[in-house]
Amino acid sequence: MGTQYSYQYPRPAVTTDVVVFTLRDQQLKLLLVKRGRPPFVDMWALPGGFLDIDEDLEACAKRELEEETGIRGVYLEQLYTFGQPNRDPRERVISVTYYALVPSDHIDLRASSDAADADWFSLGQLPALAFDHQEIITLAHQRLVAKLHYSTIAFQFMPETFTLGELQKVYETLRNEELDKRNFRKWILSLGQIEKSGELCKTGNHRPAQIYRLKNPERVEIIK
Amino acid sequence: MGTQYSYQYPRPAVTTDVVVFTLRDQQLKLLLVKRGRPPFVDMWALPGGFLDIDEDLEACAKRELEEETGIRGVYLEQLYTFGQPNRDPRERVISVTYYALVPSDHIDLRASSDAADADWFSLGQLPALAFDHQEIITLAHQRLVAKLHYSTIAFQFMPETFTLGELQKVYETLRNEELDKRNFRKWILSLGQIEKSGELCKTGNHRPAQIYRLKNPERVEIIK
DNA sequence: GCAAAAGTGTTATCCCTACACCCATGA
DNA sequence: TCATGGGTGTAGGGATAACACTTTTGC
């Protein structure tokens, strides 16, 4: 206990915070944790925490995400670095923020040490947020919507296999508009990113659908 | 002198570094400073330095840029945050990087305290660089080229007034390809971002050119 | 008068959009 | 047989790309 690490000049603390998006019930949701300690105790905040001294930034984001929510192995991308001098009331904190996309079948929340609770919220119905986390979320949402139009980032929301109807639903939810079925199929197939698995999806009282999968599940391609 | 600032956990140092681009002699150039002190003494590096404890990140980038090169009042945008644990041989350093665009008539270099020297280099002919600065430059260049296609960022290279021929040259240099004069003029005028000043540019042994200016010199608009 | 850049419209092509009907299945 | 989502092609419109000649000036 105490003050073991000394420097010639004052230093800010460095944290990472992650905006985790998923799609559930045809809605874009994001993950918040309820803070278990001050400041902003009992308020909702983004999962995140302090950088270990020998830890890569992205590794820190992944670690905090897993520790606080149990989520791992998802798409993660650096968003922006926030460093307003007074964004944390305790002291100077620089936050390197990331955003993550989680397939809808991959959600398995578990609260833990730092987080009294964790839950998914619709973007339109967010609670009051700690720090400048509202601003971070707004930026992450803008980036996600922008990337929809010039990359294959939306595929990161899909499970391993899916039908074209399910994929179209995802795009419709994210873009918040209905799309023409024929045009969507022509376009998405022309990208050359998905292929038929050969299997059929026989759920529901209607004609079975072809099941597709990604050719490169890990890669997010730039299109256009 | 000594170790006045103590913390319970070790903390990384935080710096900002800036990739400054300009256009000169029909070439994209960037600004490097020669390091005056270890590590990497006498090697070339990006202008930048340590964050003051009460200073905003962007303010730090601006301050270091002015201190080391005399450049101020230019377009500045956050690029990415680099934090590999061993990117600085002395200790853990997080670098929040920015890139800046300088109009070609606005270049007025002056070396100073931290920088033994400063100079412009073509991207194809960079010297060996300190730290991971080559990686930072590569990313900045990619970002700049990408933004050309969906924003008016190229205008930030222009002086207050300019001709359409000069503007086309800028686009040709940045995109590294020749453009059709008529199509370029139709396109650039259709953006609605520039207007005639009414003056004519009578230099050279050829027909005088209309002089244009930006309607909103500060704003970078998203187009498309 | 000649070299050098300024200035100016039309046509063809491609891509995106709009649009309607049959199919396979479960209940 | 009916309700439900799956699956398919074509035609029109708008934007982009290709293309050549005249103008004004300095030397």
Contact yes or no for A3 and B2 at CB 8 A:
no
Contact yes or no for A81 and B92 at CB 8 A:
no
**pLDDT class for A82, splitting at 50, 70, 90?**
very high
Q: Give strand C nucleotides closer than 7 A to any protein Cβ.
A: 3-10, 16-20, 23-27
Partners of A4 on chain B (C-beta within 8 Å) are 6-8
**pLDDT class for B224, splitting at 50, 70, 90?**
confident
CA distance A206 to chain B (A): 40
Q: For A95, which residue in chain B has the nearest alpha carbon?
A: B81
Whole-number CA gyration radius for chain A: 20
Per-residue pLDDT, averaged over A168-179, amounts to: 96
Contact yes or no for A7 and B5 at CB 8 A:
yes
* Assigned token pair, B142: 């990619």
**pLDDT class for B36, splitting at 50, 70, 90?**
confident
pLDDT of amino acid A104 = 83
pLDDT of amino acid B106 = 77
Partners of A94 on chain B (C-beta within 8 Å) are 14, 51, 57, 94, 96
**pLDDT class for A106, splitting at 50, 70, 90?**
confident
Residue B187 has pLDDT above 80, yes or no: yes
Report the predicted TM-score, pTM, of the whole model to 2 decimal places.
0.94
Alpha-carbon separation of residue A200 from A21, A161, A164, A203 (angstroms): 29, 11, 12, 9
Asked if B96 has any chain A CB less than 8 Å from its own CB, the reply is yes
**Could you tell me which of B97, B93, B73, B75 has the C-alpha nearest to residue B85?**
B93
Partners of B12 on chain A (C-beta within 8 Å) are 11, 14, 51, 53
Percentage above 70 pLDDT, chain B: 95
Q: Give strand D nucleotides closer than 7 A to any protein Cβ.
A: 3-10, 16-20, 23-27
Closest CB from B7, B57, B94 relative to A3: B7
pLDDT of amino acid A127 = 97
CA of B184, C1' of D15: distance in angstroms: 14
CA of B211: nearest nucleotide by C1' is C6
Contact yes or no for A81 and B96 at CB 8 A:
yes
Alpha carbon distance B84, B16 (integer Å): 15
What mean pLDDT value characterizes chain B? 94
Q: What is the pLDDT of residues A28-57, one digit of tens each?
A: 999 999 998 899 999 999 999 999 999 999
Closest CB from A1, A10, A83 relative to B5: A10
CA of A156, C1' of C15: distance in angstroms: 27
Percentage above 90 pLDDT, chain A: 87
Contact yes or no for A9 and B53 at CB 8 A:
yes
CA distance B63 to chain A (A): 16
Q: What is the pLDDT of residues B137-171, one digit of tens each?
A: 999 999 999 999 999 999 999 999 999 999 999 99
What mean pLDDT value characterizes chain A? 94
Q: What is the pLDDT of residues B62-88, one digit of tens each?
A: 999 999 988 999 999 999 999 999 999
The A residues from 158 to 197 touching B (CB cutoff 8 Å) are none
Residue B45 has pLDDT above 60, yes or no: yes
pLDDT of amino acid B112 = 53
On the 0-12 / 13-18 / 19+ scale of CB atoms within 10 A, A12 is buried
CA of B192, C1' of C8: distance in angstroms: 19
Cβ(B221)–Cβ(B183) under 8 Å? Answer: no
* Assigned token pair, A22: 């998923």
Per-residue pLDDT, averaged over A195-200, amounts to: 97
Per-residue pLDDT, averaged over A168-194, amounts to: 97
Residue A110 has pLDDT above 80, yes or no: no
Residue A221 has pLDDT above 80, yes or no: yes
Q: What is the pLDDT of residues A112-124, one digit of tens each?
A: 545 558 899 999 9
Asked if B53 has any chain A CB less than 8 Å from its own CB, the reply is yes
Cβ(B100)–Cβ(B144) under 8 Å? Answer: no
- Residue B95 has φ and ψ, to the nearest 5°, of -115, 120
Cis omega (within 30 of 0) for bond into A39: yes
Q: What is the pLDDT of residues B104-138, one digit of tens each?
A: 887 766 645 455 589 999 999 999 999 999 999 99
Asked if B8 has any chain A CB less than 8 Å from its own CB, the reply is yes
* Assigned token pair, B126: 């960079």
* Assigned token pair, A98: 């990331």
B216 CB contact with strand C at below 7 Å? no
Residue A217 has pLDDT above 50, yes or no: yes
Residue A155 has pLDDT above 60, yes or no: yes
Residue A109 has pLDDT above 90, yes or no: no
B186 CB contact with strand C at below 7 Å? yes
- Residue A76 has φ and ψ, to the nearest 5°, of -140, 135
Angle, nearest 10°, between helix axes B181-190 and B164-175? Answer: 100
